[in-house]
Structure 1
Amino acid sequence: MSNERSSRNSKNSKNGHITVLSWNYERNGAGDESMRVHAHEVLASLDPHLVLRQEMWGADANGNEIMYELEDVLGMRGWLGPGACTAVFADPATFRPVREWPLTGPMWLLPPTALTLRFTPAGRQSMPIAVASYHLNYASSANRLAETEWLTVWADKKWTRPDGETVRMPALMAGDNNSYPVPGVEGDVPLPELKAIADQPHRLHRSHYGPDGTRVMDTRPDEVLRTAGLEDVARHWATTEGGTDDAVSHTVNACATHGPDARIDRVYTSAALLGAVTDVDVIEVPADISDHHIVRLTLDADYLTDVLNHRIEQTAT
């Protein structure tokens, strides 16, 4: 990593903000090196401190050659999950690894990348954060439900404080949910009607049987994560902090097969981290680069430091 990039990100965190990006970059550029490099230059231009990537296809070839290429473009350290399905990149001046979680559960078609990271500015005795980049099943709502239930284990990781008390670590996770948020937020992308999806197999992929025996659009992953104490940060920002509709903007565009605009890419955090949120928005990406847009979360570095050093009590345990 260049000294210039490391210095810039370290300065940004000290000046008060941390930038987290989540992006499902379509097929990791489908083998086109120039497109892949350009896409990650777009990410780098946003000065991220943490990047959660999905569709990392081929990044493990030739001894992780592409993964190292992307580390260099981003100026970040990276961790590639099982099967080159997902990845996490972190600015080493801002986040340091405490441990990896390679065993992610039995239900995953596209396994997540899960880590425990320490926010370096908070100090070596601070509580770390459980971080996961994930990609839920494309075709099966039943499998998505099971995968999401397994995903909640990273909202249940424990940490022993310097005073000997064992507490639950905060979690931050993001990815492609291949499903919809539960309705109820003003300005949020509305649920599509089943008949608005022209492709019949895709109608199946994005729905399940409801209690009355009719098919309903799949919102169960969102409901599961929020039941487990994780909050959709865009929903939080739009409803409680006076955020704009930019927070709940669509993350995939309408198309003939998949139906109307949808917000299937989302970032979730534990309630303890919500007070650190200072902005959430969606950065639109041209269709010739990817079929998904970039979700950006901005956190207040001082607030985050206080939470991780227990100077602000967590609101959920």
Structure 2
Amino acid sequence: MKTITVVCWNFERNGKNDPQLRCQAHELVAQYNPQLVLRQEMWGADENGSEVMYELENILGLRGWLGLRSCTAVFTDQSVFRTVREWPQTGPVWVLPPTALTLRYLPAGEGAMPVIVSSFHLNYASGANRVAEAEWLTTWADKRSTAPDGTTVRIPALLGGDANSYPEPSALEEPTLPELDRIRDEPHRAHRSYLGTKGRRMDTRPDEILRTAGLSDVAVHRADRPGGSVAALAPTVDACDTHGPDARIDRMYVTDELLPAITDVDVIRVRPELSDHHIVRLTLDGDRLAALLRQRPAHTPHASGAVTGEPEPLPAA
């Protein structure tokens, strides 16, 4: 069985302008031999001719795509995934724009369905903005391809990032939603909660939106299956005075076509001097992934474009 490893990490401020720290952090990631890396907080990676981006590509041994304003990035192993297209038009609402690519999983063959992969970072301070951003994230689960018989089918999607909000409680053994008065920083109480019909509560709306759109939280899926481990549901940020107790802020989601390929999900703890977020790791059975994608019909271009369901081009400023 070939293992595909996907790593998702909000590396704090891309190393806080410390090249040594940045190098150490990505050497840590590289030791897990990932084929996909979804990064957030890529600040400064576009400066000096994208010097930092090339540095990180060299350390990881992967090719990278940097999103708008250096907010997010996707790195891929080009011997495993070939890029079919980029998605620069991510929607009008983003404070921290995502990076999205359509990738061909090479072991599945040219006739198999590709996969859409996106790294995202939802807004820190505005719950209302996170709702709109999550709604736009669902467009990556709404891309369709035309089969030889003229029918259209959904292209599988994998999304990962910092949700800056909480998952809806799953009844599994995972961090509980914080109580509002346990968050000492009063502005942060406003950042992470909203006034609903039953009073103010912690913000789980992005998770609810993504799941409504047919995207599954891979950690919940894995923990709730035979042989699953609660390690999948470990906190991705630790308790602190300002933000409250441990929380599972960073998550990965997939459309249901990819669920049978999941073999494990865990959280890799990192030292606090490296980052304020831990690493989420998803592993897939590569052979199973290839078989699932081969079951999807091959893509056939048509007059209106190669793929349907694209976001409308943004108006000129």
Same fold (TM over 0.5): yes
In structure 2, what is the equivalent of residue 64 of structure 1?
50
Alignment counterpart, residue 261 of structure 1, candidates 246, 253, 256: 246
In structure 1, what is the equivalent of residue 213 of structure 2?
228
Amino acid across the alignment from 2:118: A
Alignment counterpart, residue 280 of structure 1, candidates 244, 249, 265: 265
How far apart, in 2, do the equivalents of 1:228 and 1:199 lie?
A: 33
Q: Is the 8 A contact 2:170 2:220 kept in 1?
A: no
User: Which runs of structure 2 are paired with 1:288-299 in the superposition (5 Å)?
Assistant: 288-299=273-284
User: Which runs of structure 2 are paired with 1:193-212 in the superposition (5 Å)?
Assistant: 193-212=179-198
**Worse overlay, 187-196 or 162-171:** 162-171
**Worse overlay, 35-44 or 164-173:** 164-173
Alignment counterpart, residue 174 of structure 1, candidates 142, 160, 172: 160
SS in 2 for 1:273: helix
- Which residues of structure 1 form unaligned runs of 5+? 1-14, 313-317
Q: Is the 8 A contact 2:112 2:296 kept in 1?
A: no
How far apart, in 1, do the equivalents of 2:82 and 2:296 lie?
A: 21
1:92-112: CA deviation from partner (whole Å, max 9, x where unpaired): 111110000001001100000
Structure 1 residue 165: Cα displacement: 3.5
Alignment counterpart, residue 52 of structure 1, candidates 19, 22, 38: 38
User: Which runs of structure 2 are paired with 1:1-317 in the superposition (5 Å)?
Assistant: 15-162=1-148, 164-212=150-198, 214-310=199-295
Q: What number of residue pairs does the alignment pair up?
A: 297
1:95-136: CA deviation from partner (whole Å, max 9, x where unpaired): 110000001001100000001001111111110001100000
Point out the structure with the larger helix share. 1
Q: CA RMSD in A?
A: 1.2
Higher relative contact order (CA 8 A, sep 6+): 2
Q: Is the 8 A contact 1:125 1:162 kept in 2?
A: no
How far apart, in 2, do the equivalents of 1:175 and 1:85 lie?
A: 11
Q: Is the 8 A contact 2:223 2:232 kept in 1?
A: yes
Amino acid across the alignment from 1:269: V
- Which residues of structure 2 form unaligned runs of 5+? 298-317
Amino acid across the alignment from 1:240: R
Q: Is the 8 A contact 1:185 1:238 kept in 2?
A: no
| TM-score normalised by structure 2 residue count | 0.92
Q: Is the 8 A contact 1:127 1:161 kept in 2?
A: no
Structure 1 residue 167: Cα displacement: 1.0
Q: Is the 8 A contact 1:185 1:239 kept in 2?
A: no
SS in 2 for 1:93: coil
Structure 1 residue 168: Cα displacement: 0.5
Identity %: 63
SS in 2 for 1:195: helix
Runs of 4+ in 1 over 4 A off after TM superposition: none
How far apart, in 1, do the equivalents of 2:80 and 2:150 lie?
A: 26
In structure 1, what is the equivalent of residue 311 of structure 2?
none
Q: Is the 8 A contact 2:9 2:278 kept in 1?
A: yes
Q: Is the 8 A contact 1:185 1:235 kept in 2?
A: no
How far apart, in 1, do the equivalents of 2:264 and 2:185 lie?
A: 35
CA 1:256–1:69: 2 relative to 1, 3 Å: same
